[in-house]
Amino acid sequence: MATDTIQSVVTAVNGSQLNSLTALFSPETSASVKEALTGLASTAKGVKYTVNQTVTEGTLVAFTYSATGTSTATNKAGSWTGSGVATLDGGVITALQVHEDTIAKAIVLGESLTTVAHPTAAGTWTGSASGFTVTLKLIQSGTKVTGTVAITGFPGTFPATGENNYPHNPNVVINATVVGLETEFEGDFDGANKIDGTLKIPGFSPIDVTVNKQA
């Protein structure tokens, strides 16, 4: 059952058995989840998840969850909540969206609210979807963003420019010429360390991809 798959994911994550995730996700989704967990480990330790409710509709399963953990910055422990929806094919998760209450998390863990209220695009971001892995290395000055972008399948790294328009949508817009193709990534912050976005490469269908800030 789909709900069993979700619980298997939680069991693997809670037990730090990340290699077990490979059998539960499609390859590109597995890569994104592992990247997200790596980013999480830099901000919180000892995080444990509990699935509170699930609803199944065809190939979709939505769920709510609670989490407990300790901030690596403040060493304060607390609990927070979130929700998500997964798409399954033959018991394997092929797409996953997760939305966490990042403001509540910052409050209970005693962290600065500045990064929640004014998230920065600066840093290294990476995510995978539809066979592509995109890596953004960005610097932000004011609202202006510069840096580089690398996309698997396209050799090299390419200069990138853009804007952090937060709180206006889309929050982040990054443009680069990738082997002669005018490529764009745009997305919205989901907390300070995740951007849910769309990668647009001429000749390809738009690719929904979540990039996570790396430690």
Pair 66, 167 in one domain:
no
Give me the pLDDT at residue 17, please.
86
Task: For residues 124 and 189, state if they share a domain.
Answer: yes
Whether the CB-CB separation of 176 and 170 falls below 8 Å is answered with: no
Edge to edge, the sheet with strand 77-89 lists 44-57, 60-71, 77-89, 92-100
Let me know whether 133 and 85 are in one domain: no
> 10 and 91: one domain?
yes
DSSP code string of 46-82 = EEEEEEEEEEEETTEEEEEEEEEEEETTT--EEEEEE
List 182's β-bridge partners, or say none: 177
Whether residue 156 is found in the same domain as residue 193:
yes
| One domain for residues 103 and 200 | no
167 preceded by a cis bond (ω within 30 of 0): yes
> Mind listing the pLDDT tens digit of every residue in the chain (215 residues)?
678 999 999 999 999 888 888 899 988 788 888 878 877 787 899 999 999 999 999 999 999 999 999 999 899 999 999 999 999 998 899 888 888 898 899 999 998 888 788 899 999 999 988 889 999 999 999 999 999 999 999 999 999 999 999 999 999 999 999 999 999 999 999 888 899 999 999 999 999 999 999 87
Domain count, the chain: 2
| Domain boundary residue, one of 114, 145, 161 | 114
If asked whether residues 84 and 132 sit together in one domain, one would say: no
Among the candidates 59, 82, 114, a domain finishes at 114
Mark out the alpha helices in the chain (DSSP H runs). Answer: 2-14, 27-41, 102-108, 114-117
Spatial distance between the Cα atoms of 62 and 41, rounded to a whole number of angstroms: 24
Q: Print the domain residue range for 172.
A: 119-213
Query: For residue 1, what pLDDT is reported?
Result: 67
In sequence order, what are the beta bridge partners of 212?
Answer: 126, 194
Instruction: Show which of 91, 114, 137 is a domain's final residue.
Output: 114
pTM of the model: 0.73
How far apart (Å, rounded) are the C-alpha atoms in residues 176 and 147?
10
